[in-house]
Structure 1
């Protein structure tokens, strides 16, 4: 068996750590297994419509030994968390900056939410269909640099989300201009455009200290995010661990309750480790 190069090992380990893509199973179906399955199918098949013809073969070797239900728990839980929050308050229009369209936004469309998406990159999807617009739902897309939301008026929207997007701002990864303070400018813009009592749902990488992992993302101490949103009240903050959310902060009975043990259990950023932090804010 050919040995993996150092570069291949680095790529594989990076993908494993970040959990963005499912890795193929180490074991694949052999050609002998495929041939045996073909012979068994030919022997058992009595339906001429679905007879085996090799010119139509579309051989999949990686599925037999792969575990079922391999998902990135960070995105899986994050997108459900955000959708539940929006559903709880059901704004007339929910605005989103850079979140997952096939995850979070798809969840919102299942309960016919009207959504305005903002992203710096072009999107050619044709969202104006009767299916997506059913019962008052649907998507409007605005291609724009969301760092300052210059096309949105002050105090004009009820509900806004940015799930795993702000940490990338200003690093050039998505074609945006290099701007070291873009993440903070974006948070200031978010609180500017929200109405009084408007809700902000935010997720970013969190750990025990602030770090820049150029050009991928930033990692934040939770307090760094809270301090930047100085016109908003933190309602709830937690982080995703496996398939659960560990609650760290909750505003209740006019006071902020803090789970210090949970905060102290966050990863060490100097190891490039982080959890996905979930923040809910309300504008004062």
Structure 2
């Protein structure tokens, strides 16, 4: 009922997504917090009564109040897309891989079985064997034309030019990003990407863009689509379903 009204009323839809986006900044719940502190104090009191282990006599108060959940919280997009990308990279087994702007946690793990050069506008302050970092922009990558054999950029293209991560505003940021990835990839090279997909092109400012399938695939006309997967909510499918609206597409591409 609510979804059908949102689809019919553009203004209502915009208000809904705006309220949804700022909800994360309005999470102070005094009564719930007070209840959890009472639980914490009770737990602390019970722990102090248990003096069976003489090896731990010192206690430092470090309350973690909101982790006692019935299920493990997971963001479906990153859970599924990163697992998919890891599987593809393991199957491809490139001698060396280049990633542009994907999750540093995921790329760090993947670098332990495939040497990876990671490029991002925001430097990482940690080092790891198998992982080389280069500061750079997806709009001007530090690689020669047709020089990269294996490339990825997961959940990145849709953000470029919206200012969210400190980049300049650019109405064609996503299109330029795709062209730059295409520039550095060798003919026959593999590209793994993921982007939001919807019935039409939409800017969710300043979070990301969503692409219609036709527009996205037109932008990727210089690639052969080797595999496509679509995530709607918590379901991954092999085919696009326009009736489901907003989703995320995972693509394995080969440059022509």
TM-score of the pair, normalised by structure 1: 0.74
Cα shift at 1:107: 3.5
Does the 8 Å contact 2:143/2:184 carry over to 1?
yes
Could you tell me which residue of structure 1 aligns to residue 181 of structure 2?
190
Q: Secondary structure at the match of 1:171?
A: coil
Does the 8 Å contact 1:226/1:234 carry over to 2?
no
Q: C-alpha distance in 2, partners of 1:10/1:191?
A: 33
Map Cα deviations across residues 195-248 of structure 1 (whole Å, 9 max, x no partner): 121111111111111011222211101222221122211122221134442112
Does the 8 Å contact 1:159/1:194 carry over to 2?
yes
Q: C-alpha distance in 1, partners of 2:178/2:143?
A: 14
Q: C-alpha distance in 1, partners of 2:32/2:187?
A: 56
Q: 1:15 to 1:109 in 2, by over 3 A?
A: farther
User: Is 2:75 the counterpart of 1:72?
Assistant: yes
Pick from 52, 56, 62: which aligns with 1:58? 62
Unaligned runs of 5+ in 1: 1-8, 249-261, 268-273
Could you tell me which residue of structure 2 aligns to residue 277 of structure 1?
249
User: Is 2:132 the counterpart of 1:140?
Assistant: yes
Unaligned runs of 5+ in 2: 1-15
Q: C-alpha distance in 2, partners of 1:77/1:24?
A: 30
Q: Which gives a bigger RCO, structure 1 or 2 (Cα 8 Å, sep 6+)?
A: 1
Cα shift at 1:95: 0.9
CA RMSD, 1 decimal: 2.8
Does the 8 Å contact 1:118/1:144 carry over to 2?
yes
Q: C-alpha distance in 1, partners of 2:38/2:102?
A: 44
Aligned length: 238
Could you tell me which residue of structure 2 aligns to residue 245 of structure 1?
236
Could you tell me which residue of structure 2 aligns to residue 46 of structure 1?
52
Does the 8 Å contact 1:92/1:114 carry over to 2?
yes
